Chains A and B, each alone.
Chain A
Amino acid sequence: MPHITLGSLPFENLKRKPFRTAALVIVVTMLTVAFYGGALLATNLKAGLNSMQERMGADLMVVPQNTGTKAEALLTSGSSSTFYFTNDIEQAVAKADGVSQVTAQTYISSLAAACCDEKVQIIGFDPATDFVIEPWITSQYERTLKDGEVVAGANINVSANGTIKLYNHEFPVAAQLASTGTSLDNSVFVNESTIPAVVSYSAKTGHAAIPAEYADKAISAVLVKTGDADTKTVAANIADTVKADGVTGLGYVYPGGVTASTKASLDAIIGYAGLFLAVFWIMGLIVLLAVFASSMNERKREFAAYRIMGATRGMLVGVIVRESATVGLIGGLIGIGSASLAILPFNTLIGARLQLPYLQSGAFTVLALIAAGLAFAVATGLIASVAAAVRLSAPETYLTLREGE
């Protein structure tokens, strides 16, 4: 028979009643999975949204008519597409009132070729004027991007020899960027003068991305910085200015609006999840309270015996509190382990399925969430036992013993 001390008593109690302990641990585990898993997902979504806001440096995007939805999808969900103007519009846009800075970008969606050649978004930008992508690229690649070279997003499959095969041509990859959790991760970036070469390679494969006659001047969007001016007014000014040049029917995308609507839907999701979590936690707490209360009722004789053996009320409360804290800790550890296994290795899949900006938080944030999750689990266990502990410490030993008869 092992020697049982007051210190080891709570653990022996838990061991001797494996089914009761397992039931309590399961409830705490479920609550911790919901709390920690929900918090981790919400943090990653918020990190993705922040990253998206940082990457959207333009106030206004001028795109060809009826391509606004495609351009928005390109900003948010990462679905690649090709669209372009058939006329030189950049200079005309630059002339409009309220426009403080302009730059042109070209979007080409590559073919989904054989195994491991994915469909990627090729983005042509002008390093001299660009204010959206260039700062992000410069933060990680200091040299100027040469003609024919590409900079690859974080999710791009770069081959072992440092190239990427697009339209059957191997492009040297100058640098690979860090993850942003946005569509930029699935893109490759080339400078504007490389675009005609990309178009000619695409023509060779029989799937010309852009007709040869537009290859030299094709741009997909003019990105505008408006300074202090109202973006809608600037859009109207641009429409008037280009009309004078004989161009009508432009499409306008407001990246700020796209971010705002993504933020609104994200806030709604997080709000509902938070509400669900609160209800779930209260239900779980009620279950725990009920289980603790009924087990305390059953254990009245046991506690009366401790009292007869000389245990003070404080000691009894200590035993209950340590039992419940241990249950909370074990449940918390299992819950955090399970949720981490379900979320952390699958972060790319979750991001791809959510179709929302999703960026895996850093190790420090995850560790902080783990600590918070454990504290939450232990606190839940303690709260559940408080009522039982208070009740148990109140009546006299004799009465407690009689009640158990």
Chain B
Amino acid sequence: MTRKLFATLPAIVLGALIAVAPQTFAYVCKVEDGMKMACHYTAQAALGIGVVIALLGVIGLFVEPKVRAGLNIAVVLNALLVIAVPTVLIGVCKGAMMHCHMVTLPTLIVLGVLAVIFAAIAVRMDLTGAKTAGR
């Protein structure tokens, strides 16, 4: 049970934070006069990817360890996407003092890195666990 929680809970929590952060505490620039900055689209992308990561975590609660390892590999790839969206793929506003540059960008990077680390550990745990069980 502990292993199952360790392999799924971080994805659920971090996925939810990735989805919610750019809409709340790590907000991006407001859309004014219909002008949408890059950070607006980054927030939209993070919302989608975050929900997917959280759902992968929830599904992981109901499957066997080997399948869960596969789900966590998907979490790793999605988390890498979370890092790539504000840095390479879409970006944020250029001004270093803009809230999206100063807060949203590092928040998404940190959440993405944490999701990668926890999911990678979970993959290893589930695979070695499955091997031991199979012996």
B35 touches A341 (CB 8 A): no
Identify the interface centre among B33, B102, B103: most chain A CB within 10 Å of its CB.
B102
Per the 8 Å Cβ criterion, residues 73-98 of B in contact with A are: 93-98
**A346 contacts partner chain B, Cβ-Cβ < 8 Å:** yes
Stretch at the interface among B11-19, B43-51, B106-114: B106-114
**Which residue, A115, A157, A346, A349, has most C-beta atoms of chain B within 10 A?**
A115
* Interface mask (A345-380 → B, CB under 8 Å = 1, otherwise 0): 110110010000000000000000000000000000
Q: Does A114 contact B (CB under 8 A)?
A: yes
Instruction: Please indicate the chain B residues that have their CB under 8 angstroms from the CB of A231 in the complex.
Output: none
B105 contacts the other chain (CB 8 A):
yes
Chain A at the B interface: SS class: loop
Q: Which residues of A contact B102 (CB under 8 A)?
A: 346, 348-349, 352
Residues of B within 8 A of A158 (CB): 94
Chain A residues with Cβ below 8 Å from B98 are 116, 118, 157
- Count contacts between A and B, CB distance < 8 Å: 52
Q: Complex: how many Å from CA A349 to CA B31?
A: 22
- Residues from chain A with Cβ under 8 Å of B109 in the complex: 345
- Any B CB within 8 A of the CB of A185: yes
Judging by beta carbons under 8 Å apart, are B106 and A345 in contact?
yes
Partner of B95, one of A116, A342, A345: A116
Given A115-B29, A346-B106, A349-B106, are A157 and B35 also a contact pair (CB < 8 Å)?
A: no
Kindly state whether residue B68 has any CB partner on chain A within 8 Å.
no
Contact of B96 among A116, A345, A346, A348 (CB under 8 A): A348
Whether the Cβ atoms of A341 and B33 lie closer than 8 Å is no
Provide the residues of chain A in CB contact with B32, threshold 8 Å: 114-115
* Contacting residues, chain B, for A114 (C-beta < 8 A): 32-33, 35
- Encode A124-145 as 1/0 by CB contact (under 8 A) with B: 0000000000000000000000
Nearest A-chain residue to B29, judged by Cβ: A115
Residue of A nearest to B96 (CB): A155
Residues of B whose CB lies within 8 Å of any CB of A are 29-33, 35, 37, 93-98, 101-103, 105-106, 109-110, 113-114
Q: List 28 A-B contacts (CB under 8 A).
A: A114-B32, A114-B35, A115-B29, A115-B35, A115-B37, A116-B29, A116-B93, A116-B95, A118-B95, A118-B98, A155-B95, A155-B96, A156-B95, A157-B93, A157-B94, A157-B95, A157-B98, A159-B94, A185-B96, A341-B110, A345-B106, A346-B102, A346-B106, A348-B97, A348-B101, A349-B102, A349-B106, A352-B102
A118-B98, A159-B94 are known contacts; what are 13 more A-B pairs with Cβ within 8 Å?
A: A114-B32, A115-B30, A115-B32, A116-B37, A155-B95, A157-B96, A157-B97, A157-B98, A158-B94, A341-B113, A345-B110, A348-B102, A349-B102
